[in-house]
């Protein structure tokens, strides 16, 4: 039985990437992002090509969210992303909605699912 959690996580992270003009890359993820009470900073590099770390929030500060290389899939990316609030790993599709927001949609191996949007902090 699948249990749905509207959490906005993961990356969802977060992810099938496309813009109106051209396909997005993981470089488009760089910057600071907000989701509920959490701030996440993403940088290029690291073991998976991009690193997104929880930099502020009620818990899990310092946690690396990107747990696998983000692979191009359709108009976005897919990969394993840790939920900023729970630390659970989600198989996630990430879509760049526009230059300032990422939509994430994914499920854990136990069938818990989450969706959400990360918004760029100006």
Per-residue pLDDT at 11 exceeds 60: no
- The whole-number pLDDT of residue 40 equals 97
Do 19 and 96 contact (CB within 8 A), yes or no? yes
The domain of 73 spans 3-16+28-120
pLDDT grade for 22, boundaries at 50, 70 and 90: low
- The whole-number pLDDT of residue 117 equals 95
Whether residue 116 lies inside any domain: the answer is: yes
Condensed to tens digits (0 to 9), the pLDDT of residues 30-50 reads 999 999 999 999 999 989 999
- The whole-number pLDDT of residue 26 equals 86
Three-class DSSP labels, 84-110: CCCCCEEEEEEEEEECCEEEEEEECCC
Number of domains in the chain: 1
Q: CA angle, 43 as apex, 55 and 47 as ends, to 5°?
A: 105
- The whole-number pLDDT of residue 75 equals 76
pTM given for the model = 0.79
Condensed to tens digits (0 to 9), the pLDDT of residues 63-73 reads 999 999 999 98
Whether residue 23 lies inside any domain: the answer is: no
Residues in contact with 104: Cβ distance below 8 Å, sequence separation at least 6, in sequence order = 8, 9, 10, 11, 12, 13, 14, 15, 81, 90, 92, 93, 94, 95, 114, 115, 116, 117, 118
């Amino acid at each position: 039985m699948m249990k749905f959690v509207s959490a906005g996580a993961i990356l969802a992270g977060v992810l099938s990437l496309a813009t109106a003009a051209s396909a997005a890359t993981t470089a488009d993820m760089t910057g600071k992002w907000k989701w509920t009470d959490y701030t996440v900073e993403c940088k290029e590099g690291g073991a998976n090509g991009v690193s997104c770390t929880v930099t502020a929030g009620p818990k899990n500060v310092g946690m690396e969210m990107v747990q696998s290389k983000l692979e191009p899939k359709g108009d976005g990316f897919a990969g394993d992303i840790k939920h900023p609030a729970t630390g659970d790993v989600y198989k996630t599709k990430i879509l760049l909605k526009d230059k300032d927001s990422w939509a994430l949609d994914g499920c854990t191996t136990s069938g818990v699912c989450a969706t959400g949007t990360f918004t760029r902090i100006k």
